[in-house]
A and B are shown apart, each in its own frame.
Chain A
Amino acid sequence: MQELFRIENLCMAFGEKEVLRNINLTIRRGEIFALIGPSGAGKTTLLRILNFFEKPTRGNLKFNGLANEGEINNIRRRMSLLFQTPAIFKASVFDNVAYGLRVRGIDKKKIENKVTSALNLVGLEGKEMQKARTLSGGEAQRMAFARAIVYDPEVLFLDEPTTNLDPANVAKIEELIKRIRNERGTTIVIATHNIPQVKRIADRVGILLNGELIEVNSKEGIFTAPKDERSAAFLKGEMIY
Protein backbone atom coordinates (compact mmCIF):
# COMPACT_ATOMS: atom_id res chain seq x y z
CA MET A 1 0.00 0.00 0.00
CA GLN A 2 1.17 3.53 -0.81
CA GLU A 3 2.44 5.65 2.09
CA LEU A 4 0.14 8.60 2.88
CA PHE A 5 1.47 10.04 6.14
CA ARG A 6 5.02 9.93 7.37
CA ILE A 7 5.84 11.14 10.86
CA GLU A 8 9.43 11.36 12.01
CA ASN A 9 10.69 12.13 15.52
CA LEU A 10 7.57 14.12 16.29
CA CYS A 11 7.19 15.75 19.70
CA MET A 12 4.42 17.90 21.07
CA ALA A 13 4.41 19.92 24.25
CA PHE A 14 1.87 22.28 25.75
CA GLY A 15 4.00 24.59 27.85
CA GLU A 16 6.10 22.40 30.11
CA LYS A 17 3.96 19.33 29.54
CA GLU A 18 5.18 16.99 26.83
CA VAL A 19 2.19 15.06 25.48
CA LEU A 20 3.86 13.27 22.56
CA ARG A 21 7.44 12.02 22.51
CA ASN A 22 9.51 10.96 19.55
CA ILE A 23 6.68 9.55 17.43
CA ASN A 24 7.68 7.72 14.26
CA LEU A 25 4.82 6.39 12.19
CA THR A 26 3.73 5.70 8.64
CA ILE A 27 0.07 5.51 7.65
CA ARG A 28 -0.82 3.88 4.36
CA ARG A 29 -3.38 5.00 1.82
CA GLY A 30 -6.69 3.15 2.12
CA GLU A 31 -6.05 1.46 5.44
CA ILE A 32 -7.99 1.66 8.69
CA PHE A 33 -5.39 2.55 11.26
CA ALA A 34 -6.41 2.47 14.92
CA LEU A 35 -4.60 4.47 17.57
CA ILE A 36 -5.32 2.91 20.91
CA GLY A 37 -4.27 3.73 24.42
CA PRO A 38 -5.68 4.82 27.74
CA SER A 39 -7.29 8.23 28.23
CA GLY A 40 -4.71 11.01 28.22
CA ALA A 41 -2.19 8.99 26.21
CA GLY A 42 -2.04 11.64 23.46
CA LYS A 43 -4.33 10.03 20.86
CA THR A 44 -6.43 13.14 20.25
CA THR A 45 -3.36 15.36 20.04
CA LEU A 46 -1.79 13.06 17.47
CA LEU A 47 -5.01 13.07 15.42
CA ARG A 48 -5.08 16.86 15.52
CA ILE A 49 -1.49 17.03 14.35
CA LEU A 50 -2.19 14.59 11.52
CA ASN A 51 -5.16 16.79 10.55
CA PHE A 52 -2.75 19.78 10.44
CA PHE A 53 -4.81 21.29 13.20
CA GLU A 54 -1.87 21.61 15.58
CA LYS A 55 1.73 22.20 14.71
CA PRO A 56 4.14 19.81 16.44
CA THR A 57 6.80 21.27 18.70
CA ARG A 58 9.48 19.23 16.92
CA GLY A 59 9.77 16.64 14.17
CA ASN A 60 8.43 16.17 10.67
CA LEU A 61 4.98 15.40 9.33
CA LYS A 62 4.47 14.73 5.66
CA PHE A 63 1.14 14.12 3.96
CA ASN A 64 1.48 12.69 0.48
CA GLY A 65 4.98 14.11 0.37
CA LEU A 66 3.89 17.59 1.47
CA ALA A 67 5.41 19.04 4.63
CA ASN A 68 3.47 20.89 7.30
CA GLU A 69 4.20 24.23 5.69
CA GLY A 70 2.53 26.56 3.24
CA GLU A 71 -1.08 26.06 2.24
CA ILE A 72 -2.34 24.19 5.29
CA ASN A 73 -5.94 24.93 4.40
CA ASN A 74 -5.57 23.24 1.00
CA ILE A 75 -4.08 20.14 2.62
CA ARG A 76 -6.72 20.12 5.35
CA ARG A 77 -9.46 20.27 2.72
CA ARG A 78 -8.45 16.78 1.66
CA MET A 79 -9.21 15.47 5.15
CA SER A 80 -11.99 15.41 7.67
CA LEU A 81 -12.14 14.98 11.44
CA LEU A 82 -15.06 13.66 13.41
CA PHE A 83 -15.05 14.50 17.10
CA GLN A 84 -16.30 12.32 19.95
CA THR A 85 -19.12 14.78 20.57
CA PRO A 86 -20.04 16.45 17.30
CA ALA A 87 -20.38 20.24 17.21
CA ILE A 88 -23.66 20.93 15.48
CA PHE A 89 -24.34 24.19 13.71
CA LYS A 90 -27.53 26.03 14.62
CA ALA A 91 -29.14 25.05 11.32
CA SER A 92 -31.04 22.25 9.62
CA VAL A 93 -29.64 18.77 9.07
CA PHE A 94 -29.30 19.60 5.37
CA ASP A 95 -27.35 22.81 6.02
CA ASN A 96 -25.06 21.04 8.47
CA VAL A 97 -24.21 18.29 6.02
CA ALA A 98 -23.87 20.74 3.13
CA TYR A 99 -21.37 22.92 5.01
CA GLY A 100 -18.15 21.35 3.71
CA LEU A 101 -19.47 21.50 0.14
CA ARG A 102 -20.51 25.14 0.42
CA VAL A 103 -17.11 26.30 1.68
CA ARG A 104 -15.64 24.56 -1.37
CA GLY A 105 -17.93 26.53 -3.68
CA ILE A 106 -19.75 23.48 -5.07
CA ASP A 107 -22.87 24.34 -7.08
CA LYS A 108 -26.33 24.05 -5.56
CA LYS A 109 -27.56 21.09 -7.62
CA LYS A 110 -24.49 19.01 -6.83
CA ILE A 111 -24.81 19.91 -3.15
CA GLU A 112 -28.39 18.68 -3.11
CA ASN A 113 -27.44 15.37 -4.71
CA LYS A 114 -24.43 14.78 -2.49
CA VAL A 115 -26.22 15.71 0.74
CA THR A 116 -29.18 13.48 -0.13
CA SER A 117 -26.86 10.59 -0.91
CA ALA A 118 -24.83 11.12 2.32
CA LEU A 119 -28.00 11.25 4.43
CA ASN A 120 -29.27 8.06 2.78
CA LEU A 121 -25.96 6.39 3.53
CA VAL A 122 -26.20 7.18 7.26
CA GLY A 123 -29.93 6.42 7.48
CA LEU A 124 -31.16 9.98 8.01
CA GLU A 125 -33.18 10.36 4.84
CA GLY A 126 -36.30 12.46 5.37
CA LYS A 127 -34.71 14.50 8.16
CA GLU A 128 -33.18 17.14 5.87
CA MET A 129 -35.26 20.02 7.18
CA GLN A 130 -35.20 19.03 10.86
CA LYS A 131 -33.25 21.34 13.19
CA ALA A 132 -29.98 19.47 13.66
CA ARG A 133 -29.85 20.20 17.38
CA THR A 134 -33.06 18.27 17.93
CA LEU A 135 -31.50 14.99 16.73
CA SER A 136 -30.78 12.23 19.24
CA GLY A 137 -27.15 11.52 20.19
CA GLY A 138 -26.83 8.63 17.75
CA GLU A 139 -28.51 10.53 14.94
CA ALA A 140 -26.31 13.58 15.61
CA GLN A 141 -23.18 11.45 15.34
CA ARG A 142 -24.43 9.88 12.11
CA MET A 143 -25.25 13.33 10.74
CA ALA A 144 -21.73 14.47 11.68
CA PHE A 145 -20.41 11.39 9.90
CA ALA A 146 -22.38 12.34 6.78
CA ARG A 147 -21.04 15.91 7.06
CA ALA A 148 -17.49 14.59 7.33
CA ILE A 149 -17.64 12.31 4.29
CA VAL A 150 -19.97 14.27 1.99
CA TYR A 151 -17.06 15.91 0.14
CA ASP A 152 -15.17 12.63 -0.29
CA PRO A 153 -12.10 13.35 1.84
CA GLU A 154 -9.00 11.27 1.21
CA VAL A 155 -8.55 10.83 4.95
CA LEU A 156 -11.11 10.58 7.71
CA PHE A 157 -9.96 11.02 11.31
CA LEU A 158 -12.30 9.69 13.95
CA ASP A 159 -11.78 10.64 17.57
CA GLU A 160 -13.61 8.16 19.82
CA PRO A 161 -16.57 8.26 17.41
CA THR A 162 -18.79 5.77 19.25
CA THR A 163 -18.02 6.44 22.91
CA ASN A 164 -21.44 7.78 23.87
CA LEU A 165 -23.56 5.68 21.54
CA ASP A 166 -25.88 2.72 22.04
CA PRO A 167 -24.92 -0.65 20.47
CA ALA A 168 -27.18 -0.16 17.43
CA ASN A 169 -25.57 3.16 16.57
CA VAL A 170 -22.09 1.76 17.29
CA ALA A 171 -22.77 -1.03 14.78
CA LYS A 172 -24.07 1.48 12.24
CA ILE A 173 -21.02 3.74 12.55
CA GLU A 174 -18.64 0.78 12.29
CA GLU A 175 -20.47 -0.44 9.19
CA LEU A 176 -20.17 3.07 7.68
CA ILE A 177 -16.45 3.21 8.43
CA LYS A 178 -15.83 -0.08 6.66
CA ARG A 179 -18.12 0.83 3.82
CA ILE A 180 -16.49 4.15 2.92
CA ARG A 181 -13.05 2.60 3.11
CA ASN A 182 -14.09 -0.30 0.88
CA GLU A 183 -16.19 1.71 -1.59
CA ARG A 184 -14.24 4.98 -1.74
CA GLY A 185 -10.77 3.94 -0.64
CA THR A 186 -10.83 6.54 2.15
CA THR A 187 -7.97 6.25 4.62
CA ILE A 188 -9.33 6.04 8.15
CA VAL A 189 -7.42 6.89 11.30
CA ILE A 190 -9.43 6.16 14.41
CA ALA A 191 -8.46 7.01 17.99
CA THR A 192 -10.20 4.80 20.51
CA HIS A 193 -9.82 2.81 23.68
CA ASN A 194 -12.52 0.39 22.57
CA ILE A 195 -10.46 -2.74 21.95
CA PRO A 196 -13.32 -4.96 20.63
CA GLN A 197 -14.06 -2.23 18.09
CA VAL A 198 -10.44 -2.20 16.95
CA LYS A 199 -10.62 -5.97 16.48
CA ARG A 200 -13.74 -5.54 14.35
CA ILE A 201 -12.61 -2.79 11.99
CA ALA A 202 -8.88 -2.01 12.02
CA ASP A 203 -6.18 -3.18 9.62
CA ARG A 204 -3.23 -1.93 11.65
CA VAL A 205 -2.92 -0.70 15.20
CA GLY A 206 -0.62 1.65 17.07
CA ILE A 207 -0.50 1.69 20.87
CA LEU A 208 0.11 5.04 22.52
CA LEU A 209 1.13 5.15 26.12
CA ASN A 210 2.04 8.30 28.01
CA GLY A 211 2.81 10.10 24.76
CA GLU A 212 4.97 7.31 23.33
CA LEU A 213 4.01 5.08 20.44
CA ILE A 214 5.17 1.83 21.98
CA GLU A 215 4.12 -0.55 19.22
CA VAL A 216 2.73 -0.49 15.68
CA ASN A 217 1.68 -3.68 14.01
CA SER A 218 -1.04 -5.42 12.05
CA LYS A 219 -4.22 -6.11 14.01
CA GLU A 220 -3.41 -9.81 14.07
CA GLY A 221 0.16 -9.15 15.23
CA ILE A 222 -0.86 -6.81 18.01
CA PHE A 223 -3.58 -9.03 19.39
CA THR A 224 -1.91 -12.41 19.04
CA ALA A 225 1.74 -11.62 19.72
CA PRO A 226 2.36 -8.13 21.10
CA LYS A 227 6.07 -7.34 21.13
CA ASP A 228 6.04 -4.92 24.01
CA GLU A 229 5.17 -5.99 27.56
CA ARG A 230 3.26 -2.79 28.11
CA SER A 231 1.16 -3.46 24.98
CA ALA A 232 0.31 -6.91 26.27
CA ALA A 233 -0.64 -5.49 29.66
CA PHE A 234 -2.83 -2.81 28.09
CA LEU A 235 -4.58 -5.27 25.79
CA LYS A 236 -5.25 -7.57 28.74
CA GLY A 237 -7.11 -4.68 30.29
CA GLU A 238 -4.58 -3.84 32.98
CA MET A 239 -4.52 -0.14 33.69
CA ILE A 240 -1.22 1.48 32.90
CA TYR A 241 -0.19 4.98 33.95
Chain B
Amino acid sequence: MSSAEFLYQGIIRAIELIFSLNPYILSITGVSIKVSGTATLLATVTAIPLAFALAFLQFRGKQALITLINTGMGLPPVFVGLFIFVMLVPAGPFGFLNMIFTPKAMIIAQYILVTPIITGISLAAIKAVPKPIVETVYTLGGSGKDAVIATLLEAKFGIITAVLAGLGRALAEVGAILIVGGNIAYTGSVGGIGEGLSYTRTLTTAITSETSKGDISTSIALGIILIFLNLSVNLLATFFQGRD
Protein backbone atom coordinates (compact mmCIF):
# COMPACT_ATOMS: atom_id res chain seq x y z
CA MET B 1 0.00 0.00 0.00
CA SER B 2 1.42 3.41 -0.96
CA SER B 3 1.62 6.15 1.66
CA ALA B 4 -1.15 8.11 -0.11
CA GLU B 5 -3.47 5.09 -0.01
CA PHE B 6 -2.46 4.49 3.58
CA LEU B 7 -3.46 8.05 4.44
CA TYR B 8 -6.67 7.80 2.40
CA GLN B 9 -7.70 4.59 4.18
CA GLY B 10 -6.85 6.25 7.48
CA ILE B 11 -9.09 9.25 6.73
CA ILE B 12 -12.01 7.03 5.67
CA ARG B 13 -11.67 4.98 8.86
CA ALA B 14 -11.35 8.17 10.89
CA ILE B 15 -14.58 9.56 9.44
CA GLU B 16 -16.33 6.28 10.28
CA LEU B 17 -15.04 6.49 13.84
CA ILE B 18 -16.19 10.06 14.27
CA PHE B 19 -19.65 9.59 12.78
CA SER B 20 -20.27 6.31 14.61
CA LEU B 21 -19.75 8.31 17.84
CA ASN B 22 -17.14 5.83 19.02
CA PRO B 23 -17.08 5.89 22.86
CA TYR B 24 -13.28 5.85 23.05
CA ILE B 25 -12.97 8.84 20.73
CA LEU B 26 -15.81 10.63 22.49
CA SER B 27 -14.31 10.04 25.94
CA ILE B 28 -10.92 11.39 24.82
CA THR B 29 -12.58 14.45 23.31
CA GLY B 30 -14.56 14.91 26.52
CA VAL B 31 -11.44 14.78 28.70
CA SER B 32 -9.67 17.25 26.40
CA ILE B 33 -12.53 19.73 26.53
CA LYS B 34 -13.01 19.28 30.29
CA VAL B 35 -9.33 19.69 31.18
CA SER B 36 -8.55 22.53 28.77
CA GLY B 37 -11.87 24.27 29.40
CA THR B 38 -11.48 24.17 33.19
CA ALA B 39 -7.84 25.29 33.02
CA THR B 40 -8.78 28.17 30.69
CA LEU B 41 -11.71 29.18 32.90
CA LEU B 42 -9.54 29.27 36.02
CA ALA B 43 -6.77 31.08 34.14
CA THR B 44 -9.29 33.67 32.90
CA VAL B 45 -10.53 34.32 36.43
CA THR B 46 -6.93 34.96 37.50
CA ALA B 47 -5.56 36.64 34.39
CA ILE B 48 -8.14 39.36 33.72
CA PRO B 49 -8.03 40.93 37.22
CA LEU B 50 -4.24 40.59 37.12
CA ALA B 51 -4.06 42.37 33.76
CA PHE B 52 -6.24 45.20 35.12
CA ALA B 53 -4.10 45.47 38.26
CA LEU B 54 -0.99 45.71 36.08
CA ALA B 55 -2.61 48.34 33.87
CA PHE B 56 -4.15 50.52 36.58
CA LEU B 57 -2.12 50.12 39.77
CA GLN B 58 1.37 51.18 40.68
CA PHE B 59 3.13 48.78 43.01
CA ARG B 60 6.59 47.55 43.79
CA GLY B 61 7.76 44.70 41.59
CA LYS B 62 5.24 45.49 38.83
CA GLN B 63 7.86 45.55 36.08
CA ALA B 64 9.35 42.29 37.35
CA LEU B 65 5.87 40.72 37.29
CA ILE B 66 5.31 41.89 33.71
CA THR B 67 8.66 40.38 32.72
CA LEU B 68 7.67 37.13 34.45
CA ILE B 69 4.35 37.06 32.56
CA ASN B 70 6.06 37.75 29.24
CA THR B 71 8.48 34.92 29.97
CA GLY B 72 5.56 32.70 30.98
CA MET B 73 3.92 33.24 27.59
CA GLY B 74 6.65 31.13 26.05
CA LEU B 75 7.12 28.58 28.83
CA PRO B 76 8.19 25.14 27.54
CA PRO B 77 5.27 22.80 28.39
CA VAL B 78 7.54 19.86 29.17
CA PHE B 79 9.33 21.94 31.79
CA VAL B 80 6.00 22.91 33.38
CA GLY B 81 4.98 19.25 33.29
CA LEU B 82 8.22 18.21 34.94
CA PHE B 83 7.85 20.88 37.62
CA ILE B 84 4.26 19.87 38.46
CA PHE B 85 5.28 16.21 38.38
CA VAL B 86 8.05 16.83 40.93
CA MET B 87 5.62 18.75 43.12
CA LEU B 88 2.84 16.14 42.97
CA VAL B 89 4.61 12.77 43.03
CA PRO B 90 4.11 10.94 46.36
CA ALA B 91 7.61 11.89 47.49
CA GLY B 92 7.13 15.56 46.47
CA PRO B 93 6.00 18.44 48.68
CA PHE B 94 2.37 18.12 47.53
CA GLY B 95 2.35 14.35 47.16
CA PHE B 96 -0.19 14.06 49.98
CA LEU B 97 -2.80 15.55 47.66
CA ASN B 98 -2.76 12.35 45.54
CA MET B 99 -3.19 14.37 42.39
CA ILE B 100 -0.51 12.98 40.14
CA PHE B 101 -1.89 11.18 37.05
CA THR B 102 -5.32 12.75 37.51
CA PRO B 103 -7.21 15.31 35.42
CA LYS B 104 -6.67 17.78 38.31
CA ALA B 105 -2.89 17.63 37.80
CA MET B 106 -3.42 18.25 34.09
CA ILE B 107 -5.64 21.26 34.85
CA ILE B 108 -2.92 22.70 37.13
CA ALA B 109 -0.28 22.26 34.43
CA GLN B 110 -2.42 23.89 31.76
CA TYR B 111 -3.46 26.66 34.16
CA ILE B 112 0.23 27.54 34.60
CA LEU B 113 0.76 27.54 30.85
CA VAL B 114 -2.35 29.47 29.91
CA THR B 115 -2.52 32.15 32.64
CA PRO B 116 0.46 34.15 31.33
CA ILE B 117 -0.92 34.02 27.78
CA ILE B 118 -4.34 35.39 28.76
CA THR B 119 -2.74 37.96 31.09
CA GLY B 120 -0.24 39.16 28.49
CA ILE B 121 -2.72 39.50 25.63
CA SER B 122 -5.38 41.06 27.90
CA LEU B 123 -2.83 43.56 29.22
CA ALA B 124 -1.94 44.55 25.66
CA ALA B 125 -5.66 44.99 24.86
CA ILE B 126 -6.21 47.10 27.99
CA LYS B 127 -3.16 49.23 27.28
CA ALA B 128 -4.43 49.81 23.74
CA VAL B 129 -7.51 51.60 25.12
CA PRO B 130 -6.79 55.30 24.49
CA LYS B 131 -5.85 57.21 27.66
CA PRO B 132 -8.47 59.93 26.93
CA ILE B 133 -11.20 57.30 27.37
CA VAL B 134 -10.20 56.80 31.00
CA GLU B 135 -9.72 60.54 31.49
CA THR B 136 -13.19 61.17 30.06
CA VAL B 137 -14.68 58.78 32.62
CA TYR B 138 -13.13 60.88 35.39
CA THR B 139 -14.11 64.21 33.84
CA LEU B 140 -17.71 63.00 33.65
CA GLY B 141 -17.67 62.19 37.36
CA GLY B 142 -16.81 58.49 37.18
CA SER B 143 -14.81 56.71 39.87
CA GLY B 144 -11.82 54.38 39.55
CA LYS B 145 -14.28 51.47 39.36
CA ASP B 146 -16.14 53.19 36.51
CA ALA B 147 -12.81 53.68 34.71
CA VAL B 148 -12.08 49.94 35.00
CA ILE B 149 -15.56 49.05 33.69
CA ALA B 150 -15.24 51.49 30.78
CA THR B 151 -11.83 50.04 29.91
CA LEU B 152 -13.22 46.50 30.10
CA LEU B 153 -15.99 47.44 27.68
CA GLU B 154 -13.53 49.12 25.31
CA ALA B 155 -11.10 46.18 25.43
CA LYS B 156 -13.69 43.39 25.58
CA PHE B 157 -13.03 41.92 22.14
CA GLY B 158 -9.28 41.92 22.76
CA ILE B 159 -9.82 40.18 26.09
CA ILE B 160 -12.13 37.59 24.52
CA THR B 161 -9.42 36.98 21.92
CA ALA B 162 -6.93 36.50 24.77
CA VAL B 163 -9.16 33.86 26.39
CA LEU B 164 -9.63 32.06 23.07
CA ALA B 165 -5.87 32.13 22.43
CA GLY B 166 -5.43 30.54 25.86
CA LEU B 167 -8.02 27.87 25.10
CA GLY B 168 -6.39 27.13 21.75
CA ARG B 169 -3.02 26.75 23.42
CA ALA B 170 -4.49 24.45 26.09
CA LEU B 171 -6.25 22.21 23.56
CA ALA B 172 -3.11 21.84 21.47
CA GLU B 173 -0.79 21.25 24.43
CA VAL B 174 0.75 17.81 24.88
CA GLY B 175 4.05 17.83 26.77
CA ALA B 176 2.91 18.94 30.23
CA ILE B 177 -0.29 16.88 30.40
CA LEU B 178 1.48 13.78 29.14
CA ILE B 179 3.92 14.01 32.06
CA VAL B 180 1.44 14.83 34.84
CA GLY B 181 -1.62 13.00 33.46
CA GLY B 182 0.08 9.81 32.35
CA ASN B 183 -2.12 9.38 29.23
CA ILE B 184 -4.34 6.86 31.06
CA ALA B 185 -7.33 5.07 29.55
CA TYR B 186 -9.26 2.28 31.25
CA THR B 187 -8.41 -1.18 30.02
CA GLY B 188 -10.95 -3.31 28.20
CA SER B 189 -12.28 -2.98 24.72
CA VAL B 190 -15.17 -0.62 24.12
CA GLY B 191 -16.77 -0.71 20.71
CA GLY B 192 -13.88 -2.82 19.42
CA ILE B 193 -11.66 0.20 19.12
CA GLY B 194 -8.82 1.37 21.36
CA GLU B 195 -8.39 0.34 24.94
CA GLY B 196 -11.55 1.62 26.55
CA LEU B 197 -12.49 4.96 27.99
CA SER B 198 -10.17 7.84 28.72
CA TYR B 199 -9.25 8.93 32.23
CA THR B 200 -6.38 11.34 31.54
CA ARG B 201 -5.98 10.72 27.84
CA THR B 202 -6.61 13.76 25.68
CA LEU B 203 -6.72 14.27 21.93
CA THR B 204 -3.06 15.27 21.81
CA THR B 205 -1.68 12.59 24.14
CA ALA B 206 -3.84 9.94 22.46
CA ILE B 207 -2.44 10.87 19.04
CA THR B 208 1.09 10.23 20.32
CA SER B 209 0.19 6.85 21.82
CA GLU B 210 -2.04 5.65 18.94
CA THR B 211 0.57 6.64 16.39
CA SER B 212 3.31 4.82 18.30
CA LYS B 213 1.07 1.73 18.33
CA GLY B 214 0.55 2.02 14.57
CA ASP B 215 -3.20 2.78 14.81
CA ILE B 216 -3.05 5.55 12.25
CA SER B 217 -6.79 5.71 11.53
CA THR B 218 -7.60 6.41 15.19
CA SER B 219 -4.79 9.01 15.26
CA ILE B 220 -6.19 10.69 12.17
CA ALA B 221 -9.71 10.67 13.65
CA LEU B 222 -8.36 12.31 16.82
CA GLY B 223 -6.35 14.76 14.73
CA ILE B 224 -9.42 15.78 12.73
CA ILE B 225 -11.37 16.45 15.92
CA LEU B 226 -8.43 18.41 17.38
CA ILE B 227 -8.09 20.52 14.25
CA PHE B 228 -11.87 21.06 14.22
CA LEU B 229 -11.83 22.27 17.83
CA ASN B 230 -8.85 24.57 17.26
CA LEU B 231 -10.34 25.86 14.03
CA SER B 232 -13.59 26.65 15.85
CA VAL B 233 -11.68 28.53 18.56
CA ASN B 234 -9.68 30.44 15.96
CA LEU B 235 -12.78 31.28 13.93
CA LEU B 236 -14.33 32.70 17.07
CA ALA B 237 -11.14 34.69 17.78
CA THR B 238 -11.11 36.05 14.23
CA PHE B 239 -14.79 36.98 14.57
CA PHE B 240 -14.13 38.98 17.73
CA GLN B 241 -11.01 40.59 16.27
CA GLY B 242 -13.15 41.69 13.34
CA ARG B 243 -15.73 43.19 15.70
CA ASP B 244 -13.06 45.28 17.44
Contacts and interface: CB of A to CB of B under 8 A. Distances in A.
Given A87-B130, A89-B153, A90-B153, A103 B136 contact: no
Interface string B122-150: 00000000101101111111110010001
A contact face: mostly helix, strand, loop, or mixed:
loop
Interface residues of A, number: 22
A51 B140 contact: no
A87 B150 CA distance: 12
Interface string A68-95: 0000010011011101011101110000
Contacts of A73: 141, 143
A151 interface: yes
Interface in B47-103: none
Nearest to B155: A90
Contacts of B153: 89-91
B140 A80 contact: yes
A73 B143 CA distance: 7
A158 B138 CA distance: 15
Of residues A80, A85, A87, which shows the largest number of chain B Cβ atoms within 10 Å of its Cβ? Answer: A87
Contact of B140 (A90, A91, A99): A99
Given A73-B143, A87-B130, A89-B150, A53 B136 contact: no
A90 B154 contact: yes
A103 B139 contact: no
A132 to B, nearest CB: 12
A147 B132 contact: no
Given A89-B154, A90-B153, A83 B132 contact: yes
Interface in B145-171: 146, 150, 153-154
A202 B103 CA distance: 71
Nearest to A150: B140
Given A53-B135, A87-B132, A148 B140 contact: yes
B101 to A, nearest CB: 47
A17 interface: no
A109 interface: no
Contact of B146 (A51, A103, A151): A103
Contacts of B135: 53, 83, 87
Given A90-B153, A90-B154, A103-B146, A85 B132 contact: yes
A110 interface: no
Contacts of A81: 139
Contact of B138 (A76, A104, A148): A76
Interface of B: 130, 132-133, 135-143, 146, 150, 153-154
